[in-house]
Structure 1
Amino acid sequence: MTDRKGPMATASNPGTSHEAVQRVLDGAVASGATPGIVTEVWKGDSRWFAAAGKADVSTGRERMPQELFRIGSAAKAFTAATTLKLVGEGVLSLDDTVERWLPGLLDGSPYDGDKITLRRLLNQTSGIYNFSMDPEFFATGQGEAWYERRFKVFTPEELVRIALRHPPCNAPGETFQYSNTQYYLAAMMLERVTGQSYGDLLDRLILRPVGLTRTSLPTTQTIIPGPHPMHYSRLYAEDPAARLHDASESNETTAWSAGGMISSTGDLLTFFSALFSGRILNPAQMEEMFTTVSTDGSGWLPGTRYGLGVFEQKLQSGGPVWGNGGADYGTFTLVMGSSDGTHMVASHVNTDFSPQAYAAFLAILDIEFSRTGHAG
Structure 2
Amino acid sequence: MQFSPKVESITPSSTLAITAKAKELREQGHDVIGLGAGEPDFNTPDYIIEASYQSMREGHTKYTPAAGLPALKQAVAEKLKRDNDLSYRTDEIIVSTGAKHALSSVFQTILQDDDEVIIITPYWVSYPEQVKIAGGKPVFVEGYEQNGFKAEASQIEQAVTDKTKAVIINSPSNPTGMTYSAEELREIGDVCLKYNILIISDEIYEKLLYDGAEHVSIAQLSPELKEQTLLVNGVSKSHSMTGWRIGYTAGNKEIIKKMSNLASHTTSNPAVMAQYGAIAAYEKDDGSVEKMRAAFEERLNKVFDRLNSISGFSCQKPQGAFYLFPNVKQAVDASPYETTDEWVTALLEKAKVAVVPGSGFGAPDNIRLSYATSLDQFEEALNRIEQFTASRGS
Fold agreement, TM-score > 0.5? no
TM-score (norm 1): 0.25
Between Structure 1 and Structure 2, whose CA radius of gyration is higher? 2
Greater share of residues in helix: 2
